[in-house]
Amino acid sequence: MWYVNTIGSKYKYIKAIEEVIDKEVKGTRRVIEPFAGTYTISHLMVRKGLHVISNDIGWWSYSIGRALVGDGKWFGTAVRVVSVLESVRRVPSEGYDRKLKKDKMEEIARRLRENRVRGGRLVVSRGSYDEFLRKVKRVGRGSVVYIDTPKVFRSAKESVFKNFPKLDSWLIGKEVEYELWNESNVREHHERLFKLVSAVGVRKVIVECYKKAVPKVDEIERMMRKYWKVRRAHEFKNDITLVGEEK
């Protein structure tokens, strides 16, 4: 089983998420994941026999996806990324230069090799969700979209992903910048996201919400109702899963 046990990863919720996927994705062959992160959930869905088209803005995430589909060019980078993610609680603000543990890296390389996906069942791309959703407009029709947005917390001014561009710069050896979600743009991002998903014409939208994040779950529900019939499908600790379906 492929997983990355790090902050922001859905690893600790995997059992609960698996139940949601088993129940909600039944009867669909294709799933789209615009915010794949560590590829923990994309890989889970591939293991369920689904055809998964995934995306994330981070090069760090891209390297994991490409390594999982057997792209040797990205394998070493993915091993370094996962070693960093599993050894720190937060990505440091000045990139990452600490010496990585050799045995940890070997264990991760083994895990990546064992979980390689064959036969084009996982498509990996890198870019912003807007570009991605515009690109999948034709193939995405009738599929299910699984959404785990970058969370913005009321208590913290900045995104937990604020240092990820630094990690990317360190990995690919050139300056990387991208707009992070924060308190002032997070609503606008949700509105744009749902509008684009609705333009793809997906059959079902699964949105992982977090009670302590902004916008509040009620607000997200309201935004989704503009396009879909919405229900609360699952609740586990602070996580609530909203499901939107064609009206």
Which residues lie near ligand SAM (CB under 6 A)? 8-10, 34-35, 37-38, 40-41, 56-58, 61, 128-129, 148, 150-151, 161, 164, 181
Tell the smallest beta-carbon distance from residue 189 to ligand SAM (Å): 7
CA 137 centroid distance within chain: 19
- Beta carbon nearer to ligand SAM, 10 or 51: 10
The C-alpha atoms of residue 7 and residue 88 are separated, in whole angstroms, by: 9
- Beta carbon nearer to ligand SAM, 217 or 229: 217
Q: Are the C-beta atoms of residues 148 and 36 closer than 8 Å to each other?
A: no
239 bridge partner residues = 210, 236
Tell the smallest beta-carbon distance from residue 5 to ligand SAM (Å): 10
Q: Please name which of 74, 75, 82, 73 lies closest in space to residue 101, comparing C-alpha atoms.
A: 82
Tell the smallest beta-carbon distance from residue 164 to ligand SAM (Å): 6
- Beta carbon nearer to ligand SAM, 58 or 215: 58
Tell the smallest beta-carbon distance from residue 21 to ligand SAM (Å): 12
- Beta carbon nearer to ligand SAM, 8 or 140: 8
Q: How buried is 128 (Cβ within 10 angstroms: 0-12 exposed, 13-18 middle, 19+ buried)?
A: middle
